[in-house]
Structure 1
């Protein structure tokens, strides 16, 4: 096992809708997708964003694209028009998730 950032195994994109943001994580290989599908749970993502996500985290699987899409409810302080927080649109949430570290089997990193 190796402790790596998600940067090493995935790419990401994020956006927003009202007071929630979404983060899509695309695995670099089908094998990494299966690993992330099993291990990158809503609980793991909720814990990673515990300081900004005050609502539920929902996950949608898109296996044909090797993507997991997470919806972080109540994560934008009311949304772009209702808050004074710096990133009310959630554009950096994908970057924040890519910084998360996980233990990943060495065989998947080769």
Structure 2
């Protein structure tokens, strides 16, 4: 290419201002890439933070349900324990009333032994 061709090319690209813009773009391409990476990181961290908050909310709801269910289960277990205790007392009372001698006259009810 001759000098005339270069001058025509530069003039077609916008003259000196065009050359300035090309040089400016060439010099700041790495900086622009870093800026774009930083923006992408910010968006990614924002999405991760929102997802983390969502998971924390779900976890707290599940913990509340677990505490509620555990409370109900303990109530049922307490009732069952009380019933077993009553049952044991009745069995003990019955065992104390049982007469071991055959044909005992004090047996209630009389069953003919």
Q: Same fold (TM over 0.5)?
A: no
If each structure's helix is expressed as a fraction of its own residues, which one has the higher value? 2
Give the structure, 1 or 2, with the largest relative contact order (CA under 8 Å, sep 6 or more).
Answer: 1
If each structure's strand is expressed as a fraction of its own residues, which one has the higher value? 1
Larger Rg: 2
Q: TM-score range by the shorter chain?
A: under 0.3
TM-score by length of 2: 0.17
